[in-house]
Structure 1
Amino acid sequence: MNTLDFPFAGRTLTALPSGALWDRAAGWLCVSDLHLGKSDRVARRLGLMLPPYEVAETLDRLAADLAATDARTLICLGDSFDDLAAAEALDETDRLRLLGLQAGRRWIWIEGNHDPGPSGLSGEHRAELSVDGLTFRHIATPAAGPEVSGHYHPKHRVGPESRPAFLFDADRLILPAYGTYTGGLRATCAELSALFPGPSFAILTGPRPVLVPVTAGTARRQHPPRVRPLRRAG
């Protein structure tokens, strides 16, 4: 698996091709916006039937990342479920698989706007988490930092290709959506430009993560921060 190391808030973090964030030194893996059960919610609210495979596909991806990194802690940055009813309706096979992934590691559920409360699953349930000099929350706060958040499902385009992307500057890091059935916002949209008024960078996910400067708001194109070469995890 190709990964990309980059500096943030005095530490070296690793962007995985899937959109997960890994701190190799601290032993934690962070994901955002799994939106498990989205097909269930769409069926309930809109009467539309989507292929009901997104939970299994998302858990497959998560299991692979946990195996590759051997992370001791998993931090879910909110909107892990598409709503609380989707968490309650989780198929028993998927529930048992999720419990298996939790076994032997610390598992932290951060509250999101889609799942604003305990889901009935094991693990720690937090409004936000401060650890290792970072604050983990679902939605970025303009005045706070350094922080790691999700919510916006950022994407960025290089040439004809648009991919889910990490966005970051010196104080703020926003993760891409990790779930199978998730859309996204352009890195240069008004909401994200307001959060990144100065120089910022994107790491495009995919088989080979790519780091590029972003022009957002009043940002100017800058040389990207020094990063380590692509490497295999583990």
Structure 2
Amino acid sequence: MNSHSFTFSGAALTALPSGALWWAQRGLLCVSDLHLGKSERIARRGGTHLPPYETQDTLDRLAADLDATSAKTVICLGDSFDDLGAAEALPESARLQITRLQAGRRWYWIEGNHDPGPVALGGAHLAELPLGPLLFRHIAEPGSQGEISGHYHPKVHLRTRAKTVTRPAFLMDRDRLILPAYGTYTGGLASHDPVLDALFGPDALAILTGRQALAVAMPRGSSRPAASKSGA
């Protein structure tokens, strides 16, 4: 089994190796920070011209997770598009694929800081979504409980004998869970960064993504490799 199952705020959840979160009891798949259209947005603003394949790759991976889980509800946890212009510039093939993925499913777009308003695609557009014991929003807020969010694109640096390994990761303690970025062209913030370090209690865990979802103690400031800065 390559996924990692755990209980959070009374809900039985599973972290998938892809970075998606599965809530089997609700038939719900949650992903965060797709950043669809990032290559278009960078080029439009005069940046480096990246190969424009990240939207297709991200949607293909999402389709695979939906097929594997047979999810009936999908929550996209904010920053689904790199900005509103990127949403408007999506190629027709991507729009059609999103429509196919939405067919027969409840689909929620949570507003993020990159895409703060509705876009011309199906589904509900919400600032946040409470479901049972959980609250889904884009950015973690102090004092929250049962909160599931994204925004920070958390990554973990782990030392091995030969090198330092960096992986996107879920971060969690008893009060909050932050998802890794799901999008193909996304950087990340290291778990030892003071911003993330301050959000989590001393017993926080990191669930690494990749070939296998693996839970480890969340690396904090003292775990920071000398040659690393932020992982972004």
Does residue 184 (structure 1) correspond to residue 188 (structure 2)? The answer is yes
Q: Name the amino acid aligned to 1:103.
A: A
Distance 1:177 1:215 in 2: 18
2:176 corresponds, among 164, 172, 175, to 172
Q: 2:228: which partner in 1?
A: none
Distance 1:217 1:200 in 2: 13
Q: Name the amino acid aligned to 1:173.
A: L
Q: Name the amino acid aligned to 1:117.
A: G
1:211 corresponds, among 204, 215, 221, to 215
Deviation at 1:217, TM superposition (A): 6.5
Q: 1:88: which partner in 2?
A: 88
Q: 1:42: which partner in 2?
A: 42
8 A Cα contact 1:152 1:176, kept in partner: yes
Deviation at 1:158, TM superposition (A): 2.2
Deviation at 1:44, TM superposition (A): 0.6
Distance 1:113 1:198 in 2: 28
Which of structures 1 and 2 has the larger relative contact order (alpha carbons within 8 angstroms, sep 6+)? 1
Q: How does 1:1-234 map to 2 (within 5 A)?
A: 2-159=2-159, 160-216=164-220
Q: Name the amino acid aligned to 1:110.
A: I
Further displaced range: 21-30 or 40-49: 40-49
8 A Cα contact 1:203 1:210, kept in partner: yes
Further displaced range: 6-15 or 100-109: 6-15
- TM-score normalized by the length of structure 2: 0.91
Residues 191-224 of structure 1, C-alpha deviations (whole Å, 9 max, x = no match): 1011114320000001111100124379xxxxxx
Q: Name the amino acid aligned to 2:170.
A: F
Distance 2:201 2:130 in 1: 24
Q: Name the amino acid aligned to 2:104.
A: G
Distance 1:157 1:35 in 2: 23
8 A Cα contact 1:200 1:216, kept in partner: no
Could you tell me which runs of 5 or more consecutive residues in structure 2 were left unpaired when the two chains were aligned. Answer: 223-232
Q: Name the amino acid aligned to 2:56.
A: A
Deviation at 1:47, TM superposition (A): 3.9
8 A Cα contact 1:139 1:151, kept in partner: yes
Deviation at 1:157, TM superposition (A): 1.9
Further displaced range: 76-85 or 208-217: 208-217
| Alpha-carbon distance change, 208 to 47 in structure 1, aligned in 2, over 3 angstroms | closer
Q: Name the amino acid aligned to 1:15.
A: A
Deviation at 1:46, TM superposition (A): 2.2
Alpha-carbon RMSD across the aligned residues, in angstroms, is: 1.3
Could you tell me which runs of 5 or more consecutive residues in structure 1 were left unpaired when the two chains were aligned. Answer: 219-234
Identity %: 63
